[in-house]
Structure 1
Amino acid sequence: MSILPHHLHLHHAVAISRHHRVYCTATTPPKNNRPKLQKLVINVTPPKLDDPSLKSTWAHRAWVATGCTTVLLSLTNSIIGSIDTHIWVEPILSGFVGYLFADLGSGVYHWGIDNYGDASTPVFGSQIDAFQGHHKWPWTITKREFANNLYALARVITYILLPIDLIAHDQPVVMGFVGMACGCIMFSQQFHAWAHGTKSKLPPVVVALQDAGVLVSRSQHADHHRQPYNNNYCIVSGIWNKFLDERKVFEALEMVVFFKLGLRPRSWSEPNTDWTEEMEPSLTTSSPP
């Protein structure tokens, strides 16, 4: 809300002589160009625990298999290239950089779809709808079957990575980076699901990796689901979360988007029922009479 008056009067008196003064008045016209506000409504309903939308189909499994194949092909090419060229340090470092890049990328993407758009947004609508509904019903991600949870990212990774595998297959450093980055991005939704899992129900190796900080931990991601819902966006390892949150990187990006496009992120609104978590139902379906 502007605190300036509609008219700004500037009076300047210049003494021409003892008996003559010239007064100059400048008036700026009022403006009526208030920024467009982002609609703060999440149009989703919770799936039932036995909902078919949580199940994997053969198409889902095929996409995950294809995505895994392209990732393994990249990593295999990196290993073979390292053997042929006797270069090991650079491919290993490039793989580590790819791992870091994937965590950062997951945070930026997560921030964007949490705060902007809705189910009608072109290309990203379904992801936006799912992630925003995830705040209200986070337990549903643990009920999704493996391929159902990963197939959308696996499909994107296949389209991106397959041409790179064919073009740069003899470049072990490139293959190390894209293989690790794409693999972590593709499996980020599974890492995300594990971050919502109960420790006693998770595989011991997953718990060990979470505790070591290799995968995003349950406690760190739990902070993302508490008010004000504007932190800990990264869901691969979470290694970038502290850096980004302490330096208010996403808040700065939100200011840029607001002043450039007039779009208000959801994180600026007061928390309401759209972001209040509903507990998991105790029963999947009602028993017939």
Structure 2
Amino acid sequence: MFTLPQHHLHQATTIRYRHNRDHRIYCAITTQVKTRPKLEPLVINTTTLATPPKADDPSLKSTWSHRAWVGAGCGTVLASLASSVVGSYDSHIWLEPVLSGFIGYLFADLGSGVYHWGIDNYGDASTPVFGTQIDAFQGHHKWPWTITKRQFANNLHALARVVTYIVLPIDLVFHDQPVVMGFVGMASGCIMFSQQFHAWAHGTKSKLPAVVVALQDAGLPAVVVALQDAGVLVSRSQHAAHHKQPYNNNYCIVSGVWNRFLDDHKVFEALEMVIYFKLGLRPRSWSEPNSDWTEEAEDSPVTYVT
């Protein structure tokens, strides 16, 4: 006797035939019963109007709070450098503090690249602590020119606050160590001003700070342009490569001296693979470039984001 499994037997009609006195044959005919499809609730995506900030947008203006934090950050950095100079004079050593300051400069460029890579590729506006900066840096790819519209203290206050909180205790503890102070002063100063170096890398010679333009008009060299051309500050041409496909290179924004090494040795790509296999997180740079990455000119029409 043949019996159909229960989970296949939706509807059956059984026909019995008598073959002989001792054998019976059972035939089962099944028909598939169609089930009603499950209806999902209708979801309507809302479309919001996304516009870049205007030149007179309050979010680009400096406040007195911004200025206070930048003042505190600059004071902290100057205190570090002054301690290094005074300590060097008292100890009659100069080479070690100068070398430590140079190492601090290199460290700041590397640190800016690692941090820039991280917030460019991971997280979003809802990420705790770093959400605001992540949103700003990721949105920066769409409207990179807005950084040139930010006022000085507005652009630097966030990093100045971090420098003040971290460096001030170090100044108090290691003020008599000129080598330590040389490293801390140079590293923290370059990190705090990295956003201004970044802004200058997006500008043109005609949009340089008023002081620089005044010096140039007086016949003196344009200091910022000279430093960019010498590679002391990240250049406009080098950083422009970061804003072109595939958007996964030239992350360092202090001097850019680390960019070639990091890109040629695929350091960030290796880190992305480690993070993916350990945590399952895909960086944004692995996705095909979309409207979030595509730069819009200053006079472009508004766009709609779904």
Tell me the TM-score normalised to structure 1 length: 0.82
Alpha-carbon offset, residue 44 of structure 1: 7.0
CA deviations over 1:125-146 (Å, ceiling 9, x no partner): 0000000000000000000000
Q: How does 1:215-230 map to 2 (within 5 A)?
A: 215-230=233-248
Match of 1:149 in 2: 155
Match of 1:140 in 2: 146
Equivalent pairs, count: 241
Cα separation, partners in 2 of 1:45 and 1:120, compared to 1, 3 Å: farther
CA distance in 2, matches of 1:227, 1:44: 23
CA distance in 2, matches of 1:272, 1:91: 47
CA distance in 2, matches of 1:140, 1:244: 27
Q: Tell me if the contact between 1:44 and 1:133 (Cα under 8 Å) persists in the aligned partners.
A: no
Q: Tell me if the contact between 1:82 and 1:172 (Cα under 8 Å) persists in the aligned partners.
A: yes
- Which of 228, 233, 242 is the aligned partner of 1:210? 228
Q: Which runs of 4+ in 1 moved over 6 A?
A: none
Alpha-carbon offset, residue 46 of structure 1: 1.8
Alpha-carbon offset, residue 45 of structure 1: 4.7
2:88 maps to amino acid: S
RMSD: 1.4
1:212 maps to amino acid: A
Alpha-carbon offset, residue 282 of structure 1: 8.4
Q: Tell me if the contact between 1:72 and 1:179 (Cα under 8 Å) persists in the aligned partners.
A: yes
Match of 2:93 in 1: 87
1:188 maps to amino acid: S
Q: Give the share of equivalent positions with the same residue, in percent.
A: 84
Alpha-carbon offset, residue 80 of structure 1: 0.1
Match of 1:259 in 2: 277
2:120 maps to amino acid: D
Q: Tell me if the contact between 1:74 and 1:165 (Cα under 8 Å) persists in the aligned partners.
A: yes
2:136 maps to amino acid: A
- Which of 201, 211, 216 is the aligned partner of 1:195? 201
- Which of 112, 130, 141 is the aligned partner of 1:106? 112
- Which of 269, 287, 290 is the aligned partner of 1:269? 287
CA distance in 1, matches of 2:290, 2:274: 25
- Which of 110, 123, 133 is the aligned partner of 1:117? 123
CA deviations over 1:239-274 (Å, ceiling 9, x no partner): 000000000000000000000000000000000011
CA deviations over 1:180-221 (Å, ceiling 9, x no partner): 000000000000000000123323100000000000000000
Alpha-carbon offset, residue 66 of structure 1: 0.1
CA distance in 2, matches of 1:245, 1:44: 33
CA distance in 2, matches of 1:45, 1:54: 14
CA distance in 1, matches of 2:231, 2:83: 28
CA distance in 2, matches of 1:78, 1:101: 18
**For structure 2, which runs of at least 5 residues remain unmatched after alignment?**
1-48, 213-221, 302-306
CA deviations over 1:154-173 (Å, ceiling 9, x no partner): 00000000000000000000
Alpha-carbon offset, residue 49 of structure 1: 1.7
Match of 1:20 in 2: none
Residue 159 of structure 1 aligns to a residue in which SS?
helix
2:182 maps to amino acid: G
**Which protein has the larger Cα radius of gyration, Structure 1 or Structure 2?**
2
Match of 2:172 in 1: 166
CA deviations over 1:60-91 (Å, ceiling 9, x no partner): 00000000000000000000000000000000
Larger displacement relative to structure 2 (213-222 or 199-208): 199-208
Match of 2:184 in 1: 178
